[in-house]
A and B are shown apart, each in its own frame.
Chain A
């Protein structure tokens, strides 16, 4: 059972989620559950070519099909292009002159039922001129290769070249240099809920859009520009969201744009629901990267420098690739002290569907490479693998001091040392273990990582909250920060309740609705709890301040003497001078001429802190603060087949999330983040491609981590109380997403002596490696 931490009424303990009842009874409504009167069904016509010019689209046959109410093509959007930022707007809502990946949307139909819409799409005749394509990074970078975008020479999506200290000199002076290339797989985001959208126009100048969006203010801005609407007329409503993990549910799909345009044209509500096949062939994926890492060390295993050379497949459009590749390097200065660092990363356009953000964003690729290579180096030097890490670790800075990385990241708290100790202790690191039983080999990998929380990017990145105290003492809490399943709505309510001295049940949160909630970038970069938490404190304090003024008058005390606790408001020096919260609120509201208690607050630390990270130099703070994780995984390898599974034993995450506001949520997040997006990458998941065609576009052929193989992961809370986080909190779980893959691969090596540098370690790959090793041993 969960422990409790700190001296709080609500926080630091297991907190029941505010949405738990709705979810466990099936009452929670997801986008596909939304119905609006008179609603039509939309369907997207998709390209059968991965790269082709569109010569002509003839919709006349489809128009004649009874039941069809509207048909659109890319031309209906009048040349509109969109993208993550101004310079990267390279994508059309539906392709107009050229398709750049297989199944890209080219037209859409709204009809009275799904079958008719689908049938009508079949009747749309599109004339294509197929073009030669590029389907791998290597093809894309060839001189003279076909261009995915005519105005992007060399098919380069984005590149960064940073240098800190003097890597060349450090390498020349190193006792040992190791250079290895590691590959990460092309992966699905993994949500079970395919994206769905309902759009309608209450009048011709007002839009309502209800969709599975983790960042509702992205479509808010994008649709405002696309349809030339004032923002005040764009209403995005977030229903419950069946996971996100970055990417598709952050921004837009062909189906989203189509729903809105079809609804406008038909003057009726339109619903578009992706099939899982649509999702697995066209939704954004985790970038496949080849990470070549060169590390220099002293004889004692102290890291002297690291040089990364990374190439990556961004797919057809830029999307969030500039951020992803920035993130591959920006956190390299943690959790180990790194005195010299060089980072060269290039992402290429290909005619595959686009890649984008995913849990562990960017950091996961280089963490995987570094943590595997760390074991290789430790073994070469004959140093214990955990000891090697401890020698390089950034020690927890003394309170009030800051550790600064070589690229100017500011770390106020770092619990890595404690995390490593606790995990090592939990798995009995160093004790003799039985490694082979029959055809099964067992091994443990133990690794560490850092992750950013409360992302700081340039442009709009603040979070705001509103606390509305109702006259009966209950509270409405509003934020634009979206809970996509991780439990941030609960954290927000808990913080407001804690500050106001109320039970959490008295605080109600509604889902994000851009008509009422404050603008917010949404759910990514582990930003919500850190930034929203801070904003919630400010908003609750603001409301409290308004009530405190009134209470002070009523109780005849100084304002700073007034305490709010357990639904009572009293004078600190004399608890008997008190008034029940409900009575205070009612009196405050009704005492003529009356008051309306509304508190507001927004996150400030993210902008007030240090320098915001600079993409061109790789310098500055990307996070408000930084979480640290140590993670051990034990695997069982079937040495005859190559099948690997994690064991229930010795699977431990120690997580420094600063302070666990909701211990249950931190545990579930760490268990889930490590298994689904971590072990999933390590053992199971990869899209197999053939010239832009996904060969495994379903959950049978595309393996996902399941329950039987799920390790019963233990989570150890490491408390560091970060001064920059709300109540000391930092991010939770993206760290363990990054630690799981190297922990698994190192464990396989520990068990068998074989290095699997290319993820995932699917049975066939492991089998051949084992066979090669056996043959080497035979040859001597």
Chain B
């Protein structure tokens, strides 16, 4: 690893001002579970590292009926996984965390760090797209909110200005008659997903038709991918195997997943269809169970 200068600001304000001062020549480290792997292999070699792991003001998890879930950027994966409130209100997040890397990683890694890493294979970003979560960014010019799906620009590239950092993830309430699910393809438990899918499905309790759908996929593009084609194929219809199959086929036309040692493009394409179908069905069951 290359040498760097190290800063440990005490407040978000201080961190933001440091970012401004260092003018893009700095990397923020939180839990560092993804970033240090890159640094150790000299794949990135920042001049300055700003350690925000100690900013206790960003380590919180709040829920209120009006705004939904507010996740401080430094909440660890393990905290989310173990929270009774999350299990009750956002079970999909607890399930996602149970499969997200090893316990050691979840104990130190933070939700905000994961989201900002910008790896399209990441699970939280996919689930947050399905949940329509917003990201709160703090910068020298103040705060702004962005939609999760708009935050991702390219492989490992996110919409953070030089002087900005992620402070909070805002997850709206899961609407009535809505179910959300996430699953991914793993060789072994807690692997990085070879592909993954998250689905949020809202059904009309009287007609049984799908009223709204949000479908997000991981590791099929350079960013977490929202499949509008699949959503379109689902909305307005009573969901059965045939409709869901059509949605999967529509989605498959939109994507050209990468090919690597874990799976060819053709296999990934087949698999993302399988996981889209699995998560839509699971979300649908959950929606029905609630209605």
Contacts and interface: CB of A to CB of B under 8 A. Distances in A.
Interface in A684-725: 684, 688, 695-696, 700-701, 703, 705-706, 708-709
Contact of A695 (B185, B191, B261): B261
A255 to B, nearest CB: 19
Interface in B173-188: 185-188
Contacts of B267: 763-764, 767-768
Contacts of B189: 706, 708-709
Contact of B261 (A645, A688, A709, A767): A688
A701 B270 CA distance: 21
Nearest to A771: B270
Contact of A684 (B187, B270, B278): B187
B271 interface: yes
B62 to A, nearest CB: 33
Name the prevailing secondary structure of the B interface residues: loop
B185 A641 contact: yes
B188 A706 contact: yes
A331 to B, nearest CB: 32
A709 B189 CA distance: 8
A641 B188 contact: no
Interface string B268-291: 001100100010000000000000
Contacts of B41: 277
Contacts of B187: 643, 684, 703, 762-763
A762 B186 CA distance: 11
A576 to B, nearest CB: 62
Name the prevailing secondary structure of the A interface residues: loop
Interface residues of B, number: 20
A640 interface: yes
Given A688-B261, A701-B262, A763 B188 contact: no
Given A640-B274, A641-B271, A641-B274, A703 B188 contact: yes
A764 B185 contact: no
A688 B41 CA distance: 20
A767 B270 contact: yes
A280 B3 CA distance: 26
B16 to A, nearest CB: 33
Contacts, number: 44
B264 A764 contact: yes
A277 to B, nearest CB: 8
A580 B186 CA distance: 63
A684 B188 CA distance: 9
Nearest to A768: B267
Interface in A733-780: 762-764, 767-768, 771
A734 B264 CA distance: 34
B190 interface: yes
A488 B264 CA distance: 44
A643 B274 CA distance: 13
Contacts of A771: 270
A641 B271 CA distance: 7
B185 A763 contact: yes
B8 interface: no
A209 B129 CA distance: 57
A640 to B, nearest CB: 5
B209 interface: no
B192 interface: yes
A7 to B, nearest CB: 44
A688 B261 CA distance: 7
A372 B261 CA distance: 27
Contacts of B191: 703
A709 B190 CA distance: 11
Interface string A464-491: 0000000000000000000000000000
A648 to B, nearest CB: 14
Highest count of chain B CB atoms <10 Å: which of A277, A641, A695, A768? A641
Nearest to B277: A640
Interface in A48-71: none
Contact of A709 (B185, B188, B192, B194): B188
Nearest to B273: A640
A763 B263 contact: yes
B185 A701 contact: no
9 contacts: A640-B274, A641-B271, A643-B187, A696-B261, A700-B192, A703-B188, A708-B189, A764-B267, A767-B270
Interface of B: 41, 185-192, 194, 260-264, 267, 270-271, 274, 278
Given A684-B187, A706-B188, 10 more contacts: A277-B41, A643-B186, A695-B261, A696-B261, A700-B192, A701-B261, A703-B187, A705-B188, A708-B190, A709-B188
